[in-house]
Amino acid sequence: MAALFFASASGLTGCGENIFEVKWTEARVDTALVYSLAHPDLNVFSGFDFVRRLPIRAQAAGVTGQWDLLLDTQGGQLVFLPPGALDIESATLVFPMPGAAFDDVLRAPKDTTLYTRDLPLPVDMGTVYVLRTHRGPNRFGLLCSLYGKFQPVAIDPARETVRFAYDVNRICDDRALVPEG
Domain boundaries, the chain: 27-168
- Give the Cβ contact number of residue 124 at 10 Å: 17
CA distances (Å), origin 86, targets 26, 68, 141: 34, 12, 28
Phi, psi of 5 (to 5 degrees): -60, -45
* pLDDT mean over 106-121: 96
> Would you say residue 20 has pLDDT above 80?
no
State pTM to two decimals.
0.85
Q: Is the pLDDT of residue 141 over 90?
A: no
> In this model, does residue 14 exceed pLDDT 50?
no
Task: Say whether pLDDT at 153 is over 90.
Answer: yes
**8 has a pLDDT exceeding 70:** no
The pLDDT of residue 120 is: 98
Separation of alpha carbons 169 and 18, rounded Å: 20
Is the pLDDT at 62 greater than 70? The verdict is no
170 vs 93: CA distance, rounded Å:
17
